[in-house]
Structure 1
Amino acid sequence: MITNVLVANRGEIARRVFRTCRELGIATTAVHSDPDAAAPHVREADAAVRLPGAAPADTYLRGGLIVRAALQAGADAVHPGYGFLSESAEFARAVLDAGLVWIGPPPEAIAAMGSKTAAKRLMVGAGVPVLGALAEPAEADLPVLVKAAAGGGGRGMRVVERLADLPAALASARAEAAKAFGSDEVFCERYLPTGRHVEVQLLADAHGTVWAVGDRDCSLQRRHQKVIEEAPAPGLPAAVRAALHEAAVSAARAIGYVGAGTAEFLLAEDGRFFFLEMNTRLQVEHPVTEAVTGLDLVALQLAVAEGEELPAATPPPSTGHAIEARLYAEDPAKDWQPATGTLHRIELTVEHGEFGGSGGRQDSGVRLDSGVEAGGEITPHYDAMLAKVIVRAPTRAAAARRLADALARARIHGPATNRELLVRALRHPAFLAARLHTGFLAEHAADLTAPDPGGAGRAALAAALADAAARGTALPSGWRNLPSQPQAKRYRTADGGELAVRYRRTRAGLESADHPDVELLDVAPDFVVLREGEVRRRYDVARYGDRVYVDSPTGSTALTVLPRFPDPADRTDPGALLAPMPGTVLRTGAAVGDTVTAGQPLLVLEAMKMEHRVTAPADGVLVELRVAPGEQVRLGALLAVVKSPEES
């Protein structure tokens, strides 16, 4: 019997496993890097062991350290979570060799699925349809997808639409795969731009029972990483659904699978499907399956690890519909650029608590699975996901509407997030009609990331009025016996633009040349009520240093207060390239003196487990390159300078 579980992971998955362990009366042990010393998962565990360092390679990816931590803390079992070492057969063997219980599949099953190319060959033998690897892609095969053989999560993956681009894509994918997974093996397969990503949740015990616990659609992705997932997959014909489940079970039986896992498939428009890979672990999106089945998948993992049989020959049926949205610290309008900094506030209307009790409660409501909390720091060391927000409802339409509303009403103050994109995607006609495919976000990018033309201006006006109220002005701001100049404040918007707010408060009311039809009804340091025409709206205002966040029924706006009189020393050379986030320089693409063209990649930064290109802002000459591969850079650091041929 398991008495103490160490979770070899961090963040929300560690908290999720701890929640079930507490309900079952099992003690818990956390591990943590130095940046995670005060993280919620550390505080919630019964014991915690430090892994010295910050980078994953020095901490969460060191299996020997984690096994030693389990033995030191008196844990008798290890749950890998997902990511990091969760699909390492070597780590699983080390856990078992230490006399600990491994809460996962046998190391042999992990190894069998560890290489996508080897897994494809196994699946062909099991009668599961696959997309064959292309030894030498030809023009007729385009577009193709370059994939890392040993990993997932979007790393080591490149879409190639021209054969001329293939060598560079292969080299780039190999470099990324080697850094992320320790293997530079990559392969090519046909890419279906309008294919759907559909997966089947599997559970198997050591007594021969294998469950296909429903299916999920995970087609809404950015950079081949999932953003919105739902269960069951909408619009599947009964015959296709049955065939998918049968293929998934065949895949599990072919490798002697035990525990929780997921078989992932690409579904073509004509109904054909192809095996992609098998994730030999719990998935990030497992809550949607829990929501529609009432199961606690973590509890079942623990029971199987203790040698128990699954409670029935077949899994329970799915009822209702559940959708999960991943809230990331990133800016979709800036090529998904990750964001770091202090998370001042994160509040959602959660109707039955974090992690939904036992994980399988079926009452309609909002479930929040999060590894962060207000006051915490979002660092560049780990994945950009802040939280998962999950809603279950009787129908898909009701779930989408409810989830969009929960996200829209959330108070999230801190680094930029993809919240607005999630809300718009959930409300998009194509999503509601279930016209889903892996290129959905790219196809509808203009609709999903377009700025609100008037929203920022009204938010800035509300911020300026609330600021004046916070200063305790007795008379209306700017009131004089004689007419005077209007009050003025300047703000920078999230997209880098500037807004100047000019207004005058008189005994007759608010006067604003920028918003002549806006009437001020009420004001306080933390809220403003405005009426425009016949429409009245409340704007909630929060300030943290020079950052202001304005939340209203029409959306949320982040603003930076600018000084009234700019310091000339703060001006930046128009050709200067500044680091958009803290990170590590992976490689450079040009040398000082080179002639470059607008959009040409000059260097690549790595932050939050993703690569980000820094490109030339215009045609010119690279006159300065301040960094080299391997160098750590801070936010705003000068990286390079490009000047026109005349200036250089």
Structure 2
Amino acid sequence: MRVIRRRADVAAMWSMAVHEATAAFGRPECFVERYVERARHVEVQLLADTHGAVVVAGDRDCTVQRRHQKLVEEAPAPFLTAEQRRELHDTASRLGQTAGYVGAGTVEFLLDGDGRLFFLEVNCRLQVEHPVTEEVAGIDLVRAQLAIAAGGPVPGIDVSTARGHAIEFRLTAEDPAQDFAPSSGVLTRFELPSGPGVRVDAGVRAGNVVGDQFDSLLAKVIITGADREQALARAHRALGEVVVEGVATSLPFLRALVDDEAFTADRGERFGIDTGWVETATAGPFGDALRALAPGPAATVAVSVGGRMMDVAVPGLASAAPSTQAAAGAQRAGTRSAAAPTDAVVIPMQSTVVAVHVADGDVVDAGAHVAVVEAMKMQHLLTAPAAGRVTGLTATVGASVASGAVLCRIVQIE
């Protein structure tokens, strides 16, 4: 999804959306719709069989997102009035019945600050976040989906008797201190939590190579408690047990989130988070806390073992001094390396060039579209940092480029 705020950006954004749709689904169709600012993302899980029965298995909140992709989901959706929840369930159920839907499906909505619901779409599949519904509804959604496909009936579900509260945290190979840029490498250490109320669905293990050609999801940590407060307490402990080395991950963000009042505080019928919160919060105190939790650079130290001197690589650790942590994180959070000139267009991550919009010698305005790179199925637009003349452009479409590499420079015209 691409948000367009200026008419001048329509052509480039549309082209990027078409490319992403073609790469992900094999079809180029895209559509335009109203952008609802500062909204929550809420959704309803449906199960419908071939006998005409449509059942609501529960609702979820998926508001914590980056680049319009979910990072944290929970069920049931917190901070809703009884009327809003009833409207969600009734609307989703009527849609399924009217469409003659069969199978598992998710009906997605946006909820704005005035409590108005906007229909988004129906995802005709089980989604990544389906485990939180399984935990509170006490149902195996995969088994139910297969039973429906075999001609069986929808199992009976009473959403009014949901058991507790569940939260899913996506552990992804992305660097929160670098605007969630994809990270690749070898997982040298990968340890996941256990204990009461903890479920882990993982797709990798230590020794696996994390490349930039695929989705960044490594594992899902699903926490269930008697209520949201207990689930958050268990999440705090469980996330503290996670250890990942070899690639940057979303772990520092997840740990900072469960300590932030915007996410944890009980505001009755209002949530302190909206779908754009991650981008804005990382520029404030939350961002300082996030960067404080991010590991620092690795170091090599000389040690003596049995009288022999050896060089040992030590993984980066967060500094003991909070002020030092924040300062180090702030430097890492920049979009260009310290060695890069200020007029440089810098590659933010290991990626592939999919489009170049300028040529050497072109005169461009500040913010002009320079190139598009792609990593882990996501495209990233690179723009001119200032007005000037393009010089030193070397990259070509299809070229693999390293994180921190200078694509070109925009030299001021005297």
Same fold (TM > 0.5): yes
Residue 442 of structure 1 aligns with which residue? Answer: 279
Give the drift of 1:600. 4.2
Letter aligned with residue 311 of structure 1:
P
TM-superposition CA deviations, 1:199-251 (whole Å, max 9, x none): 00111222222110110000111111111100000011112111211111111
SS in 2 for 1:625: coil
1:329 aligns with 2:173: yes
CA distance in 2, matches of 1:325, 1:207: 36
1:548 aligns with 2:315: yes
Give the drift of 1:472. 2.8
CA distance in 2, matches of 1:165, 1:381: 27
Bigger RCO of structures 1 and 2 (CA < 8 A, at least 6 apart)? 2
How is 1:141-540 mapped onto 2 (pairs within 5 angstroms)? 157-312=1-156, 314=158, 317-351=161-195, 364-433=196-265, 434-446=271-283, 447-450=285-288, 467-468=301-302, 470-472=303-305
Letter aligned with residue 614 of structure 1:
L
Give the drift of 1:299. 1.3
Give the drift of 1:314. 4.8
Question: TM-score, with normalisation over the residues of structure 2?
Answer: 0.84
Does structure 2 conserve the Cα–Cα contact (< 8 Å) formed by 1:408 and 1:420? Answer: no
Give the drift of 1:632. 3.4
Query: Any stretches of 5+ residues in structure 1 without a counterpart?
Result: 1-156, 352-363, 478-524, 526-542, 558-570
Letter aligned with residue 159 of structure 1:
V
Change (3 A) 1:209 1:442: same
TM-superposition CA deviations, 1:17-55 (whole Å, max 9, x none): xxxxxxxxxxxxxxxxxxxxxxxxxxxxxxxxxxxxxxx
CA distance in 2, matches of 1:306, 1:398: 38
TM-superposition CA deviations, 1:242-298 (whole Å, max 9, x none): 121111111111222222111111112222212110010001000111111111111
Question: TM-score, with normalisation over the residues of structure 1?
Answer: 0.55
TM-superposition CA deviations, 1:422-457 (whole Å, max 9, x none): 111222111113323212212312234336788889
SS in 2 for 1:304: helix
Residue 331 of structure 2 aligns with which residue? Answer: none
Change (3 A) 1:170 1:455: closer
How many residues of Structure 1 are paired with residues of Structure 2 in the alignment? 393
CA distance in 2, matches of 1:219, 1:425: 13
Greater C-alpha Rg:
1
- Could you tell me which of 388, 409, 413 is aligned with 1:642? 409
1:621 aligns with 2:389: yes
Query: Any stretches of 5+ residues in structure 2 without a counterpart?
Result: 266-270, 326-337
Q: CA RMSD in A?
A: 3.4
TM-superposition CA deviations, 1:37-95 (whole Å, max 9, x none): xxxxxxxxxxxxxxxxxxxxxxxxxxxxxxxxxxxxxxxxxxxxxxxxxxxxxxxxxxx
CA distance in 2, matches of 1:455, 1:279: 35
Change (3 A) 1:405 1:621: farther
Give the drift of 1:340. 0.7
Letter aligned with residue 325 of structure 1:
F
SS in 2 for 1:186: coil
Does structure 1 conserve the Cα–Cα contact (< 8 Å) formed by 2:171 and 2:250? Answer: yes
CA distance in 2, matches of 1:297, 1:455: 36
Give the drift of 1:312. 2.7
Give the drift of 1:402. 2.0
Does structure 2 conserve the Cα–Cα contact (< 8 Å) formed by 1:579 and 1:633? Answer: no
Does structure 2 conserve the Cα–Cα contact (< 8 Å) formed by 1:582 and 1:632? Answer: no
CA distance in 1, matches of 2:227, 2:159: 21
CA distance in 1, matches of 2:11, 2:116: 30
- Could you tell me which of 399, 403, 408 is aligned with 1:632? 399
Does structure 2 conserve the Cα–Cα contact (< 8 Å) formed by 1:211 and 1:315? Answer: no
Residue 608 of structure 1 aligns with which residue? Answer: 376
Overall identity of the aligned pairs, in %: 44
SS in 2 for 1:187: coil
Does structure 1 conserve the Cα–Cα contact (< 8 Å) formed by 2:373 and 2:379? Answer: yes
CA distance in 2, matches of 1:258, 1:455: 45
CA distance in 2, matches of 1:383, 1:424: 23
Residue 353 of structure 2 aligns with which residue? Answer: 585
Does structure 1 conserve the Cα–Cα contact (< 8 Å) formed by 2:173 and 2:250? Answer: yes
Letter aligned with residue 56 of structure 2:
A
Give the drift of 1:171. 3.9
CA distance in 1, matches of 2:13, 2:274: 23
Does structure 2 conserve the Cα–Cα contact (< 8 Å) formed by 1:332 and 1:449? Answer: no
Does structure 2 conserve the Cα–Cα contact (< 8 Å) formed by 1:404 and 1:422? Answer: no
